[in-house]
Every structure is written in C-alpha cells, then in structure tokens.
Amino acid sequence: MPIFSHKASFDASVEEIWNWYNSPGAFRRIMPEWEGIDPIQAGKLVDGEETIFKVSLGPVKRTWLARHHSVEEGVGFSDRMIKGPFGAWNHQHTFEENGQSTIVNDKVEYKLPLHFLTGWTAPFTVKPRMNQMFRYRTDIVVNDIKQIKKTSHLPRQRVLVSGSTGMIGLQLCAFLEAAGHEVHRLVRPSTKLPKDVSSENVVVWNDLSGEVLQGDFENFDSIIHLAGAGIGDKRWSAKRKKLIRDSRVIPTTNLSKIIANLENPPKAFLCGSAVGYYGNRGTEVLDEKSESGNDILASICREWEESTAVAKDAGIRVSLLRTGIVISPLGGALAKLLLPAKMGAGGPVGGGKQMQSWISLDDEIYAIHHLMMDESSEGPYNLSAPSPVNQKTFAKTLGKVLRRPAFAPLPGFMIKIMFGEMGQKLVLEGQDVRPNRLLESGFEFTFDDLESCLRNCLGKK
C-alpha cells in the first residue's frame, strides 16, 4: 500500500504530548478548519475505542469510523478505518523522546477506492491535502502546548461553559479539555450535544426563567458565558432584534443572580460581549476606555455587560469579552464571504473604507483561557487582533490567499436591499478597535496579521 510519512518536533516532554493527544478535546482541535469535518465521537486512546466523524467529499458528506489499536501509553497508538471513503487507511502515531523535546512520527498506509485504477492520482489528489492537514495539526499542537505551558504552574479548574455548541464554544471546550481542565456545559433542554459528552458534565436550565432543570452551579472555579442568538444569521425584523437582545440580556441577568447567591460561587465570571459596543465610529481608534456608541448593537452590548452587575457586586471577578470578527471558515463572516471570494467576486463592499476588527478563532479561545487563568483580570477586554484593516484591505488579502481577483465592487445599496438593517450594521459599518488591556495583561497573539490568519485557517500555507 502507498505510505505517507510526517515527522514533527515539539518543545515538550513525551508525557505532555501524550496527555494532549489523550484529552477529550484533542480530536476536535486537530481537525483542519477548512475541511468541513464534523466530529461525532472522539474515542479514548484505548484499544478498541472508536472515533466517528463526517468528512466532506465535494458536496457529499461521508461517515468515517476509525478504531484504535496497538495503544501503548507514552509510546504510540494506531487507528484503522473501519468505514469511510478510502479503500484502506491505517494511521500509526509514535512518540520519541529527543532531549528536552518530543518527535511525533505519523505513518499512514492507505488505498484509494478502486486503487488499481485510481492509485496513480494520489500524488495530485491525496498527498497535497495530507501535507496541508498534517502541517495544520503540527501548528495546532505547537500553539496549544505553548499556551498550556504558560499556566501549567497553576491549578487546573472546574469550568462551566454556555454556548458550548457554537463555533467558539466548541473549540474553547476542546482546548480547555486539552489543557487539563474539567469542562461542564450549561445548556437548554433543546440543545444537541456531542455524543461523547457525559450527562454528568452537563447543567440544564431554562435560560429565560433561570430555573435549573438538571445539575447545579455550585463549586465551579470559572463560568464562561457565550450563549446568544446569532446576530448575522437572519435578516433583522423587530422580532429578530428582540430575540438578539433577550437571548443575551435575560440569561446573563439570571445567571448573575444565580451565581451571586451560591454557597460556593465561582471565582471568575467571563461574559461574552462584542466590539459592537462602540457603535459605528469610522476610523476613530478605540480601546477599552472609549465610550459606547448609540446604535442598536451598542445598546444591546451595554445592557448585556450591565447584566453582570449582580455578580460583580457579590465579589465575583467579572471579565467582559468584547469580541471582534472571528475569522474561521467554520462560521461567521468568513464562511459567508468564501463562496463569492472563490468566484472572484470578493471585492470592496460599500466603498471598503469601513474598519474591520478581527481575531483568529485560536486567539479568541487562547485569550479567554488567558483571562480565565489571570486572577488580576477584570472588566472589559477587546478580543481583537492589534492590526485591524479596512474592508477593502480585507477583501484584497482574502483574494491574495485564495489566488482570486478581488476588485469587483459591491455597492452599499445592494447590501441594504439584500440584508436590510443587518447588512448596514454588520457590513457597511465598523470600528477600529485595539486590544490594549489584553496586551497589557501579557497576552501574546498567535496571529497578529490577517494574511497569516487566513492562510492558517484556509489551508493555504
């Protein structure tokens, strides 16, 4: 069978690398963002355990089931495809100590379907894709380990996360698990959780009434509250705007009251917010000391943040996460822009002068973890890269990464016709936000320029 080999060196011990791979979150962390892979079940590193996910093959999604074998703690493990799109697939991982570092060797034996006819295409169809995938995996492990080491001297925490099924929440929970924290999910009764999430690690509540239906809020070290209806998911009607507001303000108010009255309350409460707090401010440079804006998004963000007051008054450390545009093909703005950009229609929108304050998905979760572990962090923090760009530059950079033209303009009135007020606020307006307090707290960005961020998450290195 054809063999693909990959070797990577990590500045960590074999034990640290093994523990990362053996964490419940590792499988989700190593899945490349651009591949559209949907993890269903992550098997433990035990012989016979199975990992299941769906992988995109063009417009079709196929189920891939792999079974672990030859597992030897600290030495290596293998997984063999039982069901999936390949004719055969056996992936062997071995861990080799090399002084103060660890070398991970990956060896994949595979066959394409009808290999006797299709095998000759592997150098063009399979190997380039595998090279990108394993390069991405290496970077993820390197970056995760770097972040984990920064707080390895501190106790691991028992953490409750709301919004755990969203784009940010899924990766945040995965990273927290890889970092050794005990992760629990705060969900509504209708929430669909991954199959490998134990019911013991779930708190169920009615977010609009505050009624606890399963579990309790006692004895958590930190609570991270990210839940809220998607701002850019649907055109804004009066009903939609009310939902956007109520799904943030009411649950946050209820959550603040609950944790303020606990016998054993959390030490930290990290609450989601957004750079929309500042409103449409043109090219004015903004930081955490800047005043709030006066439009609908600014009003919602103010109420959202003010809803944490009860928790703060109870002596709980409250951090407000004013997040910018999170860059990932998994969702959000980039997911909507990719198709037109790939078709060469990703030029400047509405003149392209509006500023866009962005952050990579990885830096978003690393920043949240950093603030969670920093006992001195409190108040508002801008979670956005230190190098915001205008929309024209964003479009040009995306076109460069995709190797597509990015000059075809889209007039602002077309955005208003297509998306109404939502398009006006999210596409035609913007703000130039700087993460001053985050940088002052010692946080270091993994991706501080847009091009490197886009190349990483789109597999275009």
Cβ–Cβ contacts within 10 Å for residue 383, how many? 28
Cβ–Cβ contacts within 10 Å for residue 99, how many? 5
The pLDDT assigned to 426 comes to 82
Q: Quick check: pTM over 0.75?
A: yes
- Both tokens of 256, joined, read 């603040």
- Residue 356's DSSP bridge partners are 389
Q: Is 368 exposed, middle or buried (0-12, 13-18, 19+ CB in 10 A)?
A: buried
Give the position of tokens 């980039």: 334
Per-residue pLDDT of the chain (461 residues; tens, 9 = 90+): 899 999 999 999 999 999 999 999 999 999 999 988 888 888 889 999 999 999 887 778 899 999 999 999 999 999 999 999 999 999 999 999 998 899 999 999 999 988 888 888 888 888 998 999 999 999 999 999 999 999 999 999 999 999 999 999 999 999 999 999 999 999 999 888 877 787 889 999 999 999 999 999 999 999 999 999 888 888 889 999 999 999 999 999 999 999 999 999 999 999 999 999 999 998 999 999 999 999 999 999 999 999 999 999 999 999 999 999 999 999 888 888 888 888 888 888 888 999 999 999 999 999 999 999 999 999 999 999 999 999 999 999 999 999 999 888 878 888 787 778 888 788 888 999 999 999 999 999 999 999 999 999 999 98
The pLDDT assigned to 396 comes to 94
DSSP letters, 30-96, are TS-GGGT-EEEE---SSTT-EEEEEEEETTEEEEEEEEEEEEETTTEEEEEEEESSSSEEEEEEEEE
The pLDDT assigned to 192 comes to 84
The pLDDT assigned to 157 comes to 98
